[in-house]
Amino acid sequence: MARADDLSGYLIAPDLGRNGLTRAVQGTDQDGVAQDLNVVEERPLTIYLNRREIVTAMTIGDYPEYLALGFLRNQGMLRDADDVTRVDYDEEVETVVVRTATETDYEDKLARKTRTSGCAVGTVFGDMMAGLEGLVLPDTQVRTSDLYALAHHINRTPSLYLEAGAIHGTVLCQGAQPLVYMEDVGRHNAVDKIAGWMLSERVSAGDKLLYTTGRLTSEMVIKTALMGIPVLASRSGFTAWGVEIARQIGLTLIGRMRGKRFVCLAGEERLVRDADLSLVADEDRAHRRKSAR
């Protein structure tokens, strides 16, 4: 069984010793007393797909290759069939270039689009939704005993969040085991890094669960489904459209997970309520994630 505060079973966990993810910043408190604070970094990363500049994302800076790959994949700009030949990160100029064997559909679509409206942003959401047609997510069961074990383990994992705050976390899990824990200043970047890792490592998705600290919006639901993951859980709330899309595509959506409480909003049929709730602790203050980030 996992010890509290350990990293048992993680393939990737937050790397608090890594240089450059946080910075010492001085401030003054309400009494005018100087405060030394450890604050998360935030830096631009420009993502290219072959010769085309796609986006500049604000990121904490770790795993730029996974972020770029996952972003392109989750935006529908990179399909399963696209053969990624190289991913080059240049730290100095803060760019990642993802190269494919042949020019992708997306580039062609973008070229056509730019002749009419001049900017690709508007197409992105439609492209994401289009990727969901015909998608069938597997019937993987979700045991509530696993859900509680995951939340307990994740909330006790040393993280930049616990150290510095102002950051979101997303964790790829299987059964009761958290596997890959990514953090980023952008809520979606953490998810995209996981998508990039899954793509690189050719990891199966149908037996996984995605846990996030962020809200369950339409975009988060769509990304999870595009990744092929049938279950999305969060300690935060949800939007009506997020719920509606989860129901349409048959994704299990679980929100407001705190201590023994949660709400299942879609895909109830995957849920196996096997936990003995009298044994599940209410959330204790020390490990409660801070409010409003």
Residue 196 touches a second copy, criterion: CB under 8 A: no
> Which listed residue (4, 37, 136, 281) binds a second copy by CB under 8 A?
37
Do residues 270 and 139 make contact, with C-beta atoms less than 8 angstroms apart? yes
Q: How far apart are CA 239 and CA 198, in angstroms?
A: 27
Residue 261 touches a second copy, criterion: CB under 8 A: yes
Give the length of the chain: 293
Residue 278 touches a second copy, criterion: CB under 8 A: no
Q: How far apart are CA 73 and CA 226, in angstroms?
A: 8
Residue 89 touches a second copy, criterion: CB under 8 A: no
Residue 100 touches a second copy, criterion: CB under 8 A: no
- Backbone φ/ψ region at 66: left (φ over 0), alpha (ψ -120 to 50), beta: alpha
> Which listed residue (31, 92, 276, 284) binds a second copy by CB under 8 A?
31
User: Cβ of residue 287: shortest distance to a second copy, in angstroms?
Assistant: 11
Q: Which two tokens stand for residue 252?
A: 């299990």
Q: What residues from 114 to 133 belong to the interface with a second copy (CB under 8 A)?
A: 114, 117-122, 124-125
Q: How far apart are CA 273 and CA 12, in angstroms?
A: 29
Q: What residues from 62 to 81 belong to the interface with a second copy (CB under 8 A)?
A: none
Residue 58 touches a second copy, criterion: CB under 8 A: yes
How far is C-alpha 263 from the geometric centre of its chain's CA atoms?
20
> Which listed residue (263, 272, 274, 281) binds a second copy by CB under 8 A?
263
User: Cβ of residue 120: shortest distance to a second copy, in angstroms?
Assistant: 4
> Which listed residue (27, 101, 102, 272) binds a second copy by CB under 8 A?
27
Beta partners for residue 290, in sequence order: none
Q: Which two tokens stand for residue 240?
A: 């009506």
> By three-state DSSP, how is residue 265 classified?
strand
Residue 56 touches a second copy, criterion: CB under 8 A: yes
Residue 248 touches a second copy, criterion: CB under 8 A: no
User: Cβ of residue 18: shortest distance to a second copy, in angstroms?
Assistant: 15
Beta partners for residue 180, in sequence order: 12, 172
